[in-house]
Amino acid sequence: MFWTGKGENSLRISIVTTTFNAMPYIVDTARSVLQSSYPDLEYVIIDAGSSDGTIEYLRGIQDSRVRLEIMKGSRPYEAVDWGFRHSTGDVLAWLNGDDLYYPGTISCVAKLFTEFPDVEWITGLPSFVDAEGRCTMVAVLSSYPRRYIENGWFTECTLGSLIQESMFWRRGLYESAGGLNLDYDLAADFELWTRFARRAPLVAVSTLLAAWRKHGTNRGLIGASAYLDDVKRATADLPRMNLFKTWLCRRMVTRQALRLAEWHRTPWIYFSMTESRWKRGAAFRPLTRYGLQHLLMEFLAKRKQTRLVNTAQ
C-alpha cells in the first residue's frame, strides 16, 4: 500500500526495535518496517551488542529513516524506553526483532490516527507466522473491556491477552502514563497497558497490522514462568476478579469456555466496503479471539498429545 496523503500534514510515526543476536529474523523485521512509502517514518533500532552479524547487517541498511544505536548490555525494555524518549514521533510502537508488519501497516496507522483524533491507542487483529515467515493463523475480532485491562485481568491465564506488536499509541498517552516501568524484566508491556487503560479505551481495528513469529526461542516462551511472576507483582495492588471467574480460569477448558461465553461492547474501527472509508463504531464481541471449532480442535489435539506422552512414559 502506497501513501497517498498530504505529507505536510502527516503525523510522524516512530517505530522502535531492540536486537541482540537477532539474525536471521531481523532481516525480515527491518524490511517489513522500511517497505512503507509513508514519508514521515522514523525507525530507531537499538542493539545490545550482538555478535552474530546483526550489527553488520543493520549498519549496511542505506535508509535515512533508520537510526541505529549500539547499547552494549542494555536490557530489552531499557532499550525500548530509551528509543521512545529519543524519538520524535507523534505515534509510537515497538516491534521485536523477530516480528513483522504487514504491507501498508504504517500508512494505515497514520490514516487512522489522523481521521480519528480522539483515538489514543489501537490494536489490529492478532496473527501468527512460523519461523520461515509463513502465516499460520489469523484471529477473529474480540472484545477488550477497559476495566479488565486496567485491572490486570487480561493475561493468557485469565480473560485474554494483548498483542504488543499490533499496538500503536499517541506519544501523549505514553508520556502521561509515565512510560515503561523498568522494574519489570518480562511484563513491562503488560503493566504499561494497565496504565494506558486508565486513561483511554483500547480501540480494536479489524485489519492485520502485525504478526508474531513463533520460532521456538521466543523470549516470552522461554521465560514464561518469570513472566507470570512479573504479572503477579504488577497486579498485586489491583482489584481481584471474583472467585468464580478465578476458579474457572484455573483450567484451560473452563477458561476458554468463559471467554466464549462472555461478550462485551468494544470500541471498533472498520473499513466500509460500501463507502470506501474507515468508520468507527462499537462491536459486540466475545473475549476469545478464537472460534468454537478452532478451540475444539485444539483441545482434542492437546488431549491426544497428552495421551501419547503418558503412553511413552
pLDDT tens column, 161-208: 899 999 999 999 999 999 999 999 999 999 999 999 999 999 999 999
Residue 1 has pLDDT above 50, yes or no: no
Q: What percentage of residues in the chain have a pLDDT greater than 70?
A: 95
The CA distance from 81 to 94, in Å, is 10
Looking at the DSSP bridge assignments, the partners of residue 100 are 211
Q: Which of 117-121, 262-266, 300-304 has the lowest mean pLDDT?
A: 300-304
| Topology (CATH level 3) of domain 9-103 | Spore Coat Polysaccharide Biosynthesis Protein SpsA; Chain A (3.90.550)
What phi and psi, each to the nearest 5 degrees, are found at residue 87?
Answer: -95, 175
Handedness of CA 158, 164, 167, 170 (dihedral sign): positive
Identify whether the C-beta of residue 28 lies closer than 8 Å to the C-beta of residue 37. Answer: no
- The per-residue pLDDT for 260 is 94
Residue 221 has pLDDT above 70, yes or no: no
pLDDT digits (tens, 9 = 90+) for 254-301: 999 999 999 999 999 999 999 999 999 999 999 999 888 888 888 888
Instruction: Summarize the confidence of residues 23-50 as an average pLDDT.
Output: 97
- The per-residue pLDDT for 6 is 46
- The per-residue pLDDT for 291 is 84
C-alpha cell at 46: 537499538
Domain boundaries, the chain: 9-103, 118-313
Identify whether the C-beta of residue 36 lies closer than 8 Å to the C-beta of residue 23. Answer: no
Identify whether the C-beta of residue 41 lies closer than 8 Å to the C-beta of residue 106. Answer: yes
More confident residue, 219 or 256: 256
The whole-chain average pLDDT of the chain stands at 93
Instruction: Summarize the confidence of residues 210-218 as an average pLDDT.
Output: 87
C-alpha cell at 118: 480522539
C-alpha cell at 178: 509515565
Alpha-carbon torsion, ordered 282, 284, 289, 292, to 10 deg: -160
The CA distance from 233 to 244, in Å, is 22
